[in-house]
Structure 1
Amino acid sequence: MSPLSGSGDVGLKPGQALRVNRLPLPRAAVPEDQAGGGSPTVGHVRLSVLEGVEIGVWEMSEGTMYDVESDEVFVVTAGHAVVVIGEQDGHPVRTAELAPGTVMRLSAGMRTTWTVTEPLRKVYLSRPD
């Protein structure tokens, strides 16, 4: 989860249900030093914290951005993207295609390039850095 945008806190309560793909998210432009093409925006809200693990929703619009990751597991709920993890000798170490239903784990310090072709929304679980 990228800490790029202003975040909100939904404060999801026990027994409360919500549809994450309908949840409005505060939006912000990706900072120039992380923008890699297009004019992407990102947004996120925290839903809850359980046993020190933050659960939230994150979204990125079409475009490309660079990021350094935190420890995180996420499930894509909407959209399509390709994530390139690191580079060695000018070649990606690993590439992952993201679509609804994809589950992925990221580790703290991973350098990634996100190229989103259809607004990508994910539910994430992450420990604060």
Structure 2
Amino acid sequence: MSPQAETPPARRPSASGASDPAGSAAPTESAEALLPAGENAAVYATGISLPLAAPSLAQTEAGSPREGLVPLGRIGAVDVDLWELRTGTVTDVELEEMFVVLSGNATIEFLDEDRSLVVGAGDVVRLTAGSRTRWTVLDHIRKVAVSLPAG
């Protein structure tokens, strides 16, 4: 008899949005992670409802962007997060990161390199730590990001 397949749930974290404190000596799994260490599990990443909020005014260049992040888990010292940005233009200084775009699209301008990338669903992107970027999103972009914590 073969095991029954499960449909991944769209698990949701509590509203606290807690994450590991910066600078902790030994990385630990966030209590809010949707895919905690030691558990074989899956989530339907395009079906998760992300709490969205306005980015800082210093980051906002145009429109009324809203963004949200939910920690999916941690592998060693590497964070794995689900992130979304909606409608607007924002700037950022990037972490060392690779991500897969799940839905939507964006234009990412590399401000120190005088070039840009247009990314959309299915694209895999690498960003280097310290890169100054400008993200322009007409509707939304949702990604799963794998990154080294700042510090």
TM-score (norm. length: structure 1):
0.86
Q: Whose Rg is larger? A: 2
TM superposition shift of 1:93 = 2.2
Distance 2:49 2:139 in 1: 17
Structure number with greater CO (CA < 8 Å, separation at least 6) is 1
Structure 1 residue aligned with 2:147, among 119, 126, 129?
Answer: 126
Aligned to 2:137, the other structure's residue is in SS state strand
Structure 2: state its 5+ residue gaps. Answer: 1-15, 19-31
Give, in angstroms, the shift of residue 108 of structure 1: 1.1
Q: 2:58 aligned with 1:37, yes or no?
A: no
One-letter amino acid of the structure 2 residue matched with residue 11 of structure 1: L
- Of residues 21, 29, 34, the one that matches 1:11 is 34
Q: Spell out, residue by residue over 1:2-53, the C-alpha distance to the aligned partner (whole angstroms, 9 max, x if none).
A: xxxx846233143211110111112210111110100001100111100111
The 5 A counterparts of 1:31-110 are 31-87=56-112, 93-110=114-131
RMSD across aligned C-alpha pairs, in angstroms?
1.5
**How far apart, CA to CA, are the structure 1 residues paired with 2:41 and 2:49?**
17
Instruction: After the TM superposition, list the runs of 4 or more consecutive aligned residues in structure 1 that deviate by more than 2 angstroms.
Output: 6-11
Structure having the larger proportion of residues in strand: 1
| Length, aligned pairs only | 120
1:7 and 1:43 in contact (8 A); partners too:
no
Aligned-residue sequence identity (percent) comes to 37
Q: Indicate the SS of the match to 1:29.
A: coil
Match of 2:24 in 1: none
- Could you state the TM-score of these two structures normalised by the residue count of structure 2? 0.74
Inter-partner Cα distance in structure 2 for 1:48 and 1:96: 28
Residue 111 of structure 2 aligns to a residue whose secondary structure is: strand
